[in-house]
Amino acid sequence: MSKWACSVRRESCGQQAIRYDKYRLSLQEILLSFIKGAAVCGLLSYTFYRSMNVFAAMLPVGAVAAVVLERKRLREARQLLLAHQFKESMVILSSALSSGFSMENAISVSLEELTVIYGENGLIVREFTSMVRQIRMNQSIEQALGDFAERSGLKDVQDLAEVFSVAKRSGGNLSEMMRHTAEVIRDKMQIQEEIRTLTASRQLEQKIMNLLPFLIVFYVECSSPGFFGQMYGTALGRLLMSICLAAYLVSYMLSKKILEIPI
């Protein structure tokens, strides 16, 4: 079971609504983040400076950055799973609306199928269960959808809630409008998944290229000990290595930006 799934189980036990746009790290996750940050700082300080003083200076910044990045990674992983399950729910919901069910009944019918697919602990099952419960407590479907959209942090869920709110106020064929919206959202998310699949090999290449400078330095150091001595023992050498480190970090951030394709 993944770490964000464990967090979902903890929140489920407390019957609290999940804020998908936020993530609270457990103590174990914080400690693991510190270890990762220390390892990265050790790798950078050894490769570019060979200095314990530099490592000590990097460590606080690296530890904080590691926690921030780990929280961001786990939050995005949970939102990605929710987005995938939401896409499947749109297929089922669209089918129910096409069969003539109202939006309220379509959500109830969709919940039964989603429970079979994802089980009772599925993220989207939890949200559909919450919406059905709110409807039975005489809350409007508009409020239930709005609450889910606000907590999800997903643009597609927010679009669905907004379209439903506008369609309900303006009148017209509500089921047809929601069916069309569900199909559009489903198609959009399908394209997003295809893009992630097509860029998977490029992401692997990016990770290999990120490791390449370190591998080259280690190889040269092992085959020709002392070859980089001037780079670590002189002021000019340290300046050049600092420039190389800055160039590496900029290249790393650019490579991640290039592979982020928004839709």
Q: How far is CA 222 from CA 41, 60, 219, 233, in A?
A: 21, 30, 5, 18
pLDDT at 2: 43
Map residue 109 onto helix, strand or coil: helix
Exposed (0-12), middle (13-18) or buried (19+): which is 249, by Cβ within 10 Å? exposed
Give the phi and the psi of residue 90 in degrees, each rounded to 5: -65, -35
Tokens of 96: 């129910």
Tokens of 144: 């239930």
Q: Which residues of 127-151 are buried (b: 16+ CB within 10 A; e: fewer)?
A: bbbbbbebbeeeeebeebbbbbbeb
pLDDT tens by residue, 144-166: 888 999 999 888 888 888 888 88
| DSSP code at position 15 | T
pLDDT at 64: 92
Tokens of 177: 């409008």
Tokens of 100: 């003539």
pLDDT at 154: 87
How far, in whole angstroms, is CA 37 from its chain's centroid? 19
d(CA 67, CA 89) in angstroms, rounded, equals 33
Tell me the chain's radius of gyration from C-alpha atoms.
25
pLDDT at 155: 86
Using 50 as the pLDDT threshold, list the residues of the chain that sit under it: 1-14
Please name the residue that has the structure tokens 């939006």: 103
d(CA 82, CA 257) in angstroms, rounded, equals 23
| DSSP code at position 234 | S
pLDDT at 230: 79
pTM of the model: 0.78
Helices (H), the chain: 3-13, 27-48, 52-98, 103-118, 123-136, 141-152, 155-170, 174-198, 200-223, 229-233, 235-258
pLDDT at 263: 56
pLDDT tens by residue, 199-222: 788 888 888 888 888 888 888 888
End-to-end CA distance of the chain: 30
pLDDT at 262: 62
Tokens of 120: 């009772």
